[in-house]
């Protein structure tokens, strides 16, 4: 049996991407592993199909692989997003460890950002439309606005149940996505603050762009681990600093998954949170030319069968 046939017998509507520190959702019931070979290669790792407390199946993927062997510049984001879409995923809840560029967002706090500043350096494949089919998707609002707005209440409620600490949730923040793997200089960190950046990571792009191209609604839960390098008289961020908060943030992220995914699946089923992205590529794709390559069309069929 082909991998696609095995995987497609049950569609999974909600996908979760775990970042640094979040390599599994072992508080949910394990069902099976799948690893579809997509036209853009293999995803970062096996995708785990797990079951929520209400028995809903969701898909989990560790962005950097289960042993954190993939650097942010080399995450196979096209394969990750394509594999999710092929499994039926319509909405993604992504987690990311981030630096804070604002005093009030202390390490340990969580945020649902609404904007992104792209500081990646063009070395990451960042579109599904790099062949003979050209498309220009709208990205003014890079996150699923309806999904992020919907998430705020359930995420707040889940965070109120984190044992032993109060986790603040910020909304409407701007995240800078830098290339890495080295952290920013003090001058860069200060510049990002002047630009209006509130948070910084190395992973939200091209993930969010590719999700938009695949018509998947994408929301990010940014989990702050450090103050980056802008605070004068304080140490610049180090990996050791990040590790101090990583485990506690991952535990709180797992709790969010456990408490939120059933209702998120329901919202996706009803379509409430998808309206901005579903159908959005229809008028983003340039009118077909005779010279479009059959192989390119076949690849795009994998993620957007409605159009190709």
Ligand X SMILES: Nc1ncnc2[nH]cnc12
Catalytic residues: 226, 228
Name residues whose C-beta falls within 8 Å of residue 128's C-beta, 6 or more positions apart in sequence: 40, 78, 82, 210, 213, 214, 299, 300, 303
CB of 301 to ligand LNRAV4D5, least distance (A): 29
Q: Residue 140: left (phi > 0), alpha (psi -120 to 50), or beta?
A: alpha
Stretch that binds ligand LNRAV4D5, among 36-44, 114-122, 167-175, 198-206 (CB under 6 A): 198-206
DSSP 236: P
Cβ-proximal residue to ligand X, closest one = 99
What would the 3-class secondary structure string for 99-163 be? EECCCCCCCCCEEEEEEEEEECCCCCCCCCCCCCCCECCCCCCCCCHHHHHHHHHHHHHHHCCCC
- Please identify which residue in 34, 83, 174, 242 interacts with ligand LNRAV4D5, judged by CB under 6 A: 242
* Both tokens assigned to 72: 């942010």
Minimum distance of ligand X from residue 132's CB (angstroms)? 36
Binding mask 17-56 toward ligand X (x if CB under 6 A, else -) reads ----------------------------------------
41: tokens are 């290669």
Binding to ligand X by residue 242, rule CB under 6 A?
yes
Shortest Å, Cβ 193 to ligand X: 12
- Length of the chain in terms of residues written: 308
SS3 220: strand
Q: Is 202 in the site for ligand X (CB under 6 A)?
A: yes
Q: Pick from 194, 199, 195: which is nearest to 175 by CA?
A: 199
Q: Which positions from 35 through 64 interact with ligand LNRAV4D5, judged by CB under 6 A?
A: 63-64
Is residue 206 near ligand LNRAV4D5 by the rule CB under 6 A?
no
228 binds, among ligand LNRAV4D5, ligand X, none (CB under 5 to 8 A by kind): ligand X
Contact residues for ligand X, defined by CB under 6 A = 97-99, 178, 183, 200-202, 225-226, 228, 237, 242
Contact residues for ligand LNRAV4D5, defined by CB under 6 A = 19-20, 63-64, 72, 96-97, 180, 201-203, 239, 242
């Amino acid at each position: 049996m082909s991998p696609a046939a095995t995987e497609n017998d049950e569609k999974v509507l909600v996908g979760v991407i775990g970042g640094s520190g979040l390599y599994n959702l072992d508080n949910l019931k394990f069902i099976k592993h799948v690893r579809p070979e997509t036209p853009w290669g293999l995803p970062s790792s096996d995708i785990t199909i797990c079951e929520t407390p209400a028995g809903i199946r969701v898909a989990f993927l560790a962005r950097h692989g289960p042993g954190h062997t993939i650097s942010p510049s080399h995450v196979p984001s096209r394969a990750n997003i394509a594999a999710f879409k092929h499994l039926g995923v319509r909405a993604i809840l992504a987690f990311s460890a981030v630096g804070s560029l604002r005093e009030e967002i202390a390490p340990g706090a969580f945020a649902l950002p609404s904007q992104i500043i792209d500081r990646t350096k063009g070395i990451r494949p960042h579109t599904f439309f790099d062949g003979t089919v050209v498309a220009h998707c709208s990205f003014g609002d890079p996150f699923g606005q309806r999904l992020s707005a919907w998430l705020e209440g359930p995420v707040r409620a889940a965070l109120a149940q984190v044992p032993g600490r109060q986790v603040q949730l910020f909304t409407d923040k701007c995240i800078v996505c830098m290339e890495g793997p080295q952290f920013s200089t003090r001058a860069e960190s200060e510049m990002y603050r002047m630009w209006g950046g509130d948070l910084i990571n190395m992973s939200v792009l091209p993930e969010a762009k590719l999700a938009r191209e695949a018509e998947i609604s994408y929301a990010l839960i940014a989990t702050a681990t450090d103050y980056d390098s802008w605070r004068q008289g304080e140490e610049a961020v180090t990996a050791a600093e990040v590790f101090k908060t990583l485990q506690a943030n991952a535990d709180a992220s797992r709790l969010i998954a456990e408490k939120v995914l059933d209702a998120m699946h329901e919202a996706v089923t009803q379509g409430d949170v998808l309206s901005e992205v579903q159908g959005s590529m229809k008028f983003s794709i340039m009118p077909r030319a005779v010279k479009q390559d059959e192989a390119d069309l076949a690849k795009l069929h994998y993620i957007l069968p409605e159009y190709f």
